[in-house]
Amino acid sequence: MQARVITSALAIGVVAVAVIGTFLSTSIRDGLYDQRVQQLSAESTRASAQVRESFSSSPSTSTADVQALLLQTVARLQGGASSADGAFLLSAGDAASAGLNAVGSPQGLVSLVTPELRDATIDSEHQTWQSVQIPAAYTASGHPEPGVVFGSVVEPPSAGRFGMYLLYSLQPEQDTLRFVQRTLMLGGAAILALVGAITWLVTRQAVTPVRRAAATAARLADGHLSERMPGKGHDEMATLARSFNEMASSLQDQIRRMEDLSTAQRRFVSDVSHELRTPLTTIRMASEVIHASRDELDPAARRSAELLQTQLDRFEELLADLLEISRFDAGAAVLDVEQRDLAGIVAAVVDTATPLAERKGVFLSVELPDQPATADVDPRRVERILRNLVVNAVEHAEGGPVEITVGGDDRAVAVVVRDHGVGMTPQEVAHVFDRFWRADPARARTTGGSGLGLAIALEDARLHAGRLEAWGRPGQGASFRLTLPRRAGIRLEEPPLPLVPEPRGLASVRTGQIPVVNPPTGPTPSAIPDLAELPLEEPADGMEVPR
């Protein structure tokens, strides 16, 4: 800001100095020129009057005498009668002046008297003048000089009308003008330097506290909550410093209270989750005894035993998710890394989700790359991420296909899960990974859930130094992309698979290029050999899987 203010002030100063300097220089030049021309005009008028008086009193009548008179007059004009740098007597060309030669000194400057000036002088009864440039060969400085030529009519004895021309140099005035211009330039430069110094000093006094406030704010943003601005005096900047420090103190108190509250909440969730496991184990044992003997009960009691078993399963899942979240919040979550091919993990997830997809009438398809998509991952956590994504996609596919694509490059591997169901709005996409958030709480569900699945999946992805991203449009379905680095320390750049799908209809699913895991005609458990099928308990009606 200081640089911008100084630059702006100097730019305005340069323009102002240039305008004022040009105006002053032009005014001084015109004043010097007009004043000198008036002086020389008066001097030329007096010289012309003297020459006329000399000619009228001269007794010369012969051509030789008149020629000698002309020479004497020119010598007198240039020698002492005037300050002219040149004098010329040129005939008007009439018959009376026949035989008389033009007289001038210096003779080489006669050409400065132009035909236009000669005609104007002879035709006028008043004095005329014209600006000229004196050649360098006839100047003392050796450089061309500005000058002015004054012309008037005189009549030598018995010779008719002659034009008398006096040449004056304006070099002294030119030297004065140059001196004034140099003085103005030096003065302008000094004024600009003074303006720059004053502007720097003023802006420094205003900017320094702002810089201190910015530095203090940056320190506060980095977590140094005890940082404060130094403030002295009673001016506006001191008031700003005191207000800023009061705000920082208030923020520090609020943040500390929030941190204490957050710590207490995490401890409460962790302690409650652990404490609930003991009574839950007892209830689980009693429930299993009742569930095993449900055939001996009446129908109402048998249904109650089945509901109790199902809800206990959901309760255990909720406790497991709460414990996992508490581990993430406490920074206690660690990876059990091994090198695995994501294709095998995807196959296990698809095999687990196949029964649910069959009940929902959803067509599952998997597209694998030509090269193995191996990476250093925690298989349990990656499988949990993909299981959440695939189950959610099946739940919201509305009977449409679910496409799972695996890809990779030299730096990263990725899995994209795409459905063609109800989709999501951009506002819903922004909150899809929030804890306990649901896009449509009234939506019917069949798989249940704690509302923490995608939040845990996001934390698992971050634990791998990877990314979990979502895209969706209402009526066009949704797409989730998991991107993981192949090795620890690799920085993710451009993912190997696109998140936003290319526009296409549901009928454009290319089954010829995508291995079919569960074709529409019925399940094929043998399509993925050597994979243990994980059981899925039937949940209560009306429950919903969070996106």
Give the Cα separation of 45 and 43 in Å (integer). 5
Q: What is the pLDDT of residue 450?
A: 59
Q: What is the pLDDT of residue 193?
A: 93
- Total-model pTM: 0.47
Contact 546, 451 (CB under 8 A): yes
Condensed to tens digits (0 to 9), the pLDDT of residues 403-412 reads 999 999 988 9
Contact 381, 460 (CB under 8 A): yes
The domain limits of the chain are 2-178, 236-328, 335-527
Fold of the domain spanning 2-178: Beta-Lactamase (3.30.450)
Query: What is the assigned CATH class of domain 236-328?
Result: mainly alpha
Q: What is the pLDDT of residue 524?
A: 34
Angle, helix 2-57 to helix 63-76, in steps of 10 degrees: 150
Q: What is the pLDDT of residue 402?
A: 93
Q: What is the pLDDT of residue 39?
A: 92
Alpha helices in 293-404 (DSSP H): 299-330, 342-360, 379-395
- The ranges of the chain with pLDDT < 50 are 94-96, 442, 444-448, 505-547
Q: Map tokens 């940056």 to a residue.
A: 218
Rg (CA), the chain: 52
Query: What is the assigned CATH class of domain 335-527?
Result: alpha beta
Cα of first residue to Cα of last residue in the chain, in angstroms, is 47
Q: What is the pLDDT of residue 509?
A: 34
